[in-house]
Amino acid sequence: MIKKYYDQDCDLKLLDGKTIAVIGFGSQGHAHAQNLKESGCSVVVGLRSDSKSAKSARDAGLDVMDVESAAEKGDLVMMLVPDEKAADIYNEQVAPHMKEGNVLMFAHGFNIHYQLIKPDECLDVIMVAPKGPGHTVRSQYMEGKGVPSLIAVHHDRSGKARDYALAYASGIGAGRAGILETSYREETETDLFGEQAVLCGGVTELMKAGFETLVEAGYEPEMAYFECIHEMKLIVDLINSGGFEMMRKYVSNTAEYGDYYAGKQIITEDSRKAMKQILARIQNGEFASEFVSEMSSGRQARFLTTRMKENEHQLCKTGAELRKMMSWLKK
């Protein structure tokens, strides 16, 4: 059973007199920096000189400086930049300024697990990974609540690495909800698998296949979109609120019966074999190698071409038109 911690298990005072440098001010960065500041921590934000996020960070009352200066000033340095950029930023702008006893932090294990970043042995290396998007980490904190977070220790130079992870997690509000201890390997591999096989790759391809099946059978695209894509949120919201059992309680009997009858015809043994193959590519580093190559030497050619092609699909155009009718959606 995974070990859980709460605020009473964390010592936020461990961060007293220390400066936390948050590198990046995107989805997670803006939430971490502001939450930590409001928890009484000393925070600086490291950004490129031409960063469009600098004004937002300053407007939030944060001390903004270039990445090198932030790394120099920070006792704890949290890397909140895209996975494909983290190694270059760390190696070129952060590592030269890290000092013995500093704490290097990540919110995803990708670069450490696949050894794209190899920190000096004189550092503590830990992870604090909220299990929710940055805007939720921020909004829940402002409401006096929190988002559950993972912590992990890669290298414990000081003997206090786990304590630092718990203190930081508490500072962003995670101790109010629960902090779960994992490892860099487990977080990285399960996160990538979930994204590829289920949350993004699996779900979007399933919805697209359903849409195409109905349209090819002569049904109107609008009907196909409503039934195979739009209503997905209803199902996911019910599952998030109360699990599969709550979803099955509140959908119709025909929907529940269809769930039991048809589900295993869609997700077959071949589907499960494909999932295992996807997991194997993640575990052996093939995916990481391919991804890093595409994002660097490949100049994202295949990535961007695929994005463009997917965005031209009929379901995207149909959905865009239907969403104009939905006044409750944020535009």
Quick: pLDDT tens for 216-259: 999 999 999 999 999 999 999 999 999 999 999 999 999 999 99
More confidently predicted of 331 and 49 = 49
Give the helix/strand (H/E) hosting 125: strand 124-130
pLDDT at site 179: 98
- Decide if 230 is catalytic: no
Asked whether residue 82 falls in the same domain as residue 105, the answer is yes
Mean pLDDT of all residues in 108-118: 98
Residue after which a domain boundary falls, among 182, 216, 247: 182
Asked whether residue 76 falls in the same domain as residue 144, the answer is yes
Q: Are 322 and 236 in contact (CB under 8 A)?
A: no
**331 in a structural domain:** no
Q: Are 284 and 277 in contact (CB under 8 A)?
A: no
Asked whether residue 116 falls in the same domain as residue 167, the answer is yes
Asked whether residue 154 falls in the same domain as residue 13, the answer is yes
Residue 258: CB partners within 8 Å, gap ≥ 6?
Answer: none
Catalytic residue among 30, 32, 97, 108: 108
Residue 240: CB partners within 8 Å, gap ≥ 6?
Answer: none
Q: What three-state secondary structure class fits 43?
A: strand
pLDDT at site 112: 98
Asked whether residue 201 falls in the same domain as residue 173, the answer is no
Q: What percent of the chain has pLDDT over 70?
A: 100
Asked whether residue 207 falls in the same domain as residue 174, the answer is no
Residue 264's CATH number: 1.10.1040.10
Asked whether residue 45 falls in the same domain as residue 72, the answer is yes
Q: Give the chain's mean pLDDT.
A: 97
pLDDT at site 331: 63
Q: Specify the number of domains making up the chain.
A: 2
Asked whether residue 51 falls in the same domain as residue 153, the answer is yes
Tell me how far apart the alpha carbons of residues 85 and 135 are, in angstroms, rounded to a whole number: 22
Asked whether residue 196 falls in the same domain as residue 299, the answer is yes
**301 in a structural domain:** yes
Task: Detail the DSSP E strand segments found in the chain.
Answer: 4-5, 19-23, 42-47, 63-66, 76-79, 103-106, 124-130, 149-155, 179-181
102 pLDDT tier (thresholds 50, 70, 90): very high
pLDDT at site 1: 86
280-298 pLDDT, tens digit each: 999 999 999 999 999 998 7
Residue after which a domain boundary falls, among 131, 163, 182: 182
Q: Minimal CA–CA distance to 24: which of 2, 4, 1, 54? A: 54
Asked whether residue 173 falls in the same domain as residue 199, the answer is no
Amino acid type, 172? I
